[in-house]
Chains A and B, each alone.
Chain A
Amino acid sequence: MKIKSTILTGATLAALSAFSAQAADTIKIGFIDPLSGPFAATGTNGLQQFRFAVEELVNKKGGVLGGKKFEIVPYDNKISPKESLVQLKRAIGEGVQFIAQGNSSGVANALTDAIKKHNKRNPDNRVLFLNYSAVDPALTNAKCNFWHFRFDANADIKMNALTDVIKAKSDIKKVYLIGQDYSFGKAVAAAAVKFLGEKRPDIKIVGNELHPIGKVKDFTPYATKIRASGADAVITGNWGADMIGLGKAIGETGLDVPIYTYYAANDGITKTIGASGKNKIRLVHEGPANPPSTDTYATYHKDFKKKNPEKDISQFRIANAVQMLAAAMEKGGSAKPIDVARALEGMEFTSLHGEKLTMRAEDHQMIQPIHISVHTDENITFDSDNSGFGLRTETTVAAADTALPSTCKMRRPK
């Protein structure tokens, strides 16, 4: 009997569908990212940031194109490429024309490919892909396409900035590379080898290790190996649980060398690493948090924390993406994806941080200043995970210096 009722639950829930009342005059942005499963923390954090940015930066200011409001519609992709495509279909079916996604380059690769095909097959119903976090360089190189815009700096750009910093540190003689065994991890490793080879041929790469993604339960053996190699610095692109594990294990072996990372902050990572990574962990990112760059930003950050005390502004580029989307609509005077895309190409923009950003037209890669920050609890205005620890910017690489040539051969619709 109980089972019968469980089936009824399903039926009831299906019936309770009219969840979100939808105003006719909104521009929907479909947010396709993991909202359940192991990576849900990152996904929901991004969602809150999107919602906040849309509310604060667009809707409260009267919307775009004479009063149209932005609306974020969340779609759970469970970080699976297949599920992302299902959700993409659904979003398109529900009239969404702008897709935002960021977690996992694997998903981004699937989405950009699917959106390209969709736009080709359905010229009357095109959609635009706002990639706010997936940094596989291929997305703006070999696999670039007109409908994809990347607001984060790609792995190569970040590595270029990072190696500029390492270049200046003459005490670093041996570097250990460790990363997750997939496209992004490999891209990081390849970029590190390339740029270190160019900038500091004297540095020896004492380890270039790829470990399976999301499957390592204990990083101690890796930490032991790093320790035994005598490395003076570690570079890793690890994120999520893999970053937590690696950070912890390195801390425990008593290894006292700088660790250069892409994603070792927020979503529980800062809190878990805590004191063991102080002044050791460095992060390459856009959008500085400490010290606060402008008052506008400080207010924005405080307002966000007021509303989401458990969350952080971990991806500042989200605010950029929202503001630039709105600006592009105003500039082109249209909310049609193709017009927005044309307006976005080559667009210059000043962020809340007061930084000058350019959406490069040739490959749709955002060119922006890149910061290298240290994990510490000193002089931190805005901490992460409410842990007292946060990121303090040490070095900034100017936007122009980060730009790298692209191999993209963009085919534009007529």
Chain B
Amino acid sequence: MSSAIQLNDVRKSFGPTEIIRGVDLDIQKGERHAIIGPNGAGKSTLFHLVSGRYKLSGGHVHLNGEEISNLSPYEIYRKGLSRSFQVTNIFPMMSVFENVRCGLMWSKDYKYSFWHLVDREKELNHRTAAVLEEIGLTSRQHVPAGVLTYAEQRALEIGIASAGGAEVIMLDEPTAGMSHSETDQAIALIRKITEGKTLVMVEHDMGVVFDLADRISVLVYGEIIATDTPENIRNNKAVQEAYLGAEAEDA
């Protein structure tokens, strides 16, 4: 098997403080990989580094064997990596339908076209409708995205990220702040949309993590202290000490 994302000695400093201190990570194609760690460990920062939001202070990132270090977010996206955000990050004044359609446009090769009329593009609109169906927002498609409920916005967030059919999808705390039933729905949704794709997620809810992930990496103070199957992580002493603590014993 070949790797989807490969991190070599990735580093990031803000001023004098080094937040990410030399991360090496190898995520295989088709794998569902979760990154866990205590607050402030740098999980979101790591996401931003991979997806191009932050520039690296050092190290290399490869996507499908191709170097993507320090490329802009849109270049990385075009190479097949799509992501969602921890804080809901949608297009609030546009309709839900429009949100999803925009997420699709690049993958359908419209680029910066100003000679196609979006409403006339049947294929594009059918695919949009399909994604809306998948994320369960068909009935809300004409509503401005800004007025959706929190859980709906989270679903839309995942919809936008997955619409373009990227091979690698990174989800940043997809179930944060959700109720139990909402979480269950979200897990089902994530399962569905990442079928046959590579998933990288940051998640706090251990239930979700152990339910979804094939492998787990534990990030503590900017360093990965362990990468393994859920089973082994649960039993890893170092992880238990550093992070899981009592919680792990309960689980």
Q: Within the complex, are A and B direct neighbours (CB within 8 Å)?
A: no
State the B residues within 8 Å of A (CB).
none
State the A residues within 8 Å of B (CB).
none
